[in-house]
Amino acid sequence: MPALLVRQPSPRLVEGELTHLPRVDVDADLARAQWDDYVDVFRARGWDVTPLSAADENPDGVFVEDTVVFFDGLAVITRPGALSRRDEITTARRAVAASRIPFAEIDEPGTLEGGDVLKVGRTAYVGRSSRTNDAGIAQLRALLAPRGWDVVAVPVTKVLHLKTAVTALADGTVIGYEPLVDDVSAFPTFLPIPEPEGSAVVVLDDRAVLISASAPRTVALLRERGWQVVETPVTEFEKLEGCVTCLSVRIRT
């Protein structure tokens, strides 16, 4: 059974970090309702959903993907590039320790956020962004190389995280809104999609993905190509540079 970590949104969500977008009003009640609907998608498909402890003092705590990245048999506790987010790793570390999955941690001076890590087969593409630095990428490479993983650094300057710009379908095709992708040639197979909100998908199974309801043209494109697409609204999180990938992290043992 697939397993997932999530964390409910803080009532202080509107205070979250912003890098590329202007600050606008965020409806905390609507955000909670959208988060509930998001989690229900996974539960309805039989996923084992584990909520982390609430972190109401951390406005960005709902974006749990950034705190830990799971590979086969190893969890990597990150070190967020945003100082305001460093406390979030405490509960992520506790959850990983409770699962008894071996884990390692990114140390100073390295920074790494999970939103910058895109796994395609045995390759981890890592965004060199405002949140993830060269030292963090080097530490991740040292951890993964003995396990047979390739780590490929790619530039990210136009969006917050690599996975804001691109994600991958189950067949390995990388999709993204091309004007926001720094280097399309970094990926062996790239499919341009027609709107930025469609860049992020969560793979639900070999033929199904979860995507923002704000991307109807991308939904139509993927369905035309034979994919089953589940839509869910995440407008309040998109206002804070979030997306469907940011709100959860899949546990891989």
Residue percentage of the chain with pLDDT more than 90: 96
Q: How confident is the model at residue 252 (pLDDT cuts 50, 70, 90)?
A: confident
Mean predicted confidence (pLDDT) in 26-50? 97
Cα–Cα distance for residue pair 220/134, rounded to 1 Å: 38
69-104 tens-digit pLDDT: 999 889 999 999 999 999 999 999 999 998 899 999
Among residues of the chain, what percentage have pLDDT more than 70? Answer: 100
Give the Cβ contact number of residue 186 at 10 Å: 16
Beta strands 201-205; 190-192: pairing state: unpaired
**Does the annotation count 243 as an active-site position?**
no
Nearest by Cα to 152 from 116, 173, 183, 125? 125
For all residues of the chain together, what is the average pLDDT? 97
Domain edges within the chain: 3-251
Q: Is 219 left (phi over 0), alpha (psi -120 to 50) or beta?
A: alpha
| Amino acid 181: pLDDT | 98
Contacts 24+ apart (CB under 8 A), 250-253: 250/2, 250/3, 250/4, 250/70, 251/3, 251/4, 251/5, 251/50, 251/70, 251/99, 251/101, 252/70, 252/71, 252/72, 253/70, 253/72, 253/73, 253/99, 253/101
Q: Which of 131, 161, 163, 239 is catalytic?
A: 161
CATH superfamily of 3-251: L-arginine/glycine Amidinotransferase; Chain A (3.75.10.10)
Amino acid at site 143: L
pLDDT, residue 166, reads: 98
Q: Which string of b and e fits 97-123 if b means at least 16 CB within 10 Å? A: eebebebebbeeebbbbbbbbbbbeeb
Token readout for 203 is 């793979």
Q: Is 161 a catalytic residue?
A: yes
| Model confidence pLDDT, tens digit, residues 171-224 | 999 999 999 999 999 999 999 999 999 999 999 999 999 999 999 999 999 999
Please pick, among 69, 200, 230, 246, the residue that the annotation labels catalytic: 246
pTM: 0.97
pLDDT at position 99: 87
d(CA 198, CA 204): 16
Res 142: pLDDT:
98
Least confident range of 44-48, 97-101, 226-230:
97-101
Q: How far apart are CA 199 and CA 104, in angstroms?
A: 29
Instruction: Report pLDDT digits (tens) over 122-156.
Output: 999 999 999 999 999 999 999 999 999 999 999 99
- pLDDT given at position 213: 98
Map residue 229 onto helix, strand or coil: strand
Q: What is the mean pLDDT of residues 8-13?
A: 96
Q: Stretch 95-123: mean pLDDT, rounded?
A: 96
Q: What is the three-class DSSP state of 207?
A: coil
Tell whether the model's pLDDT for residue 1 goes beyond 80: no
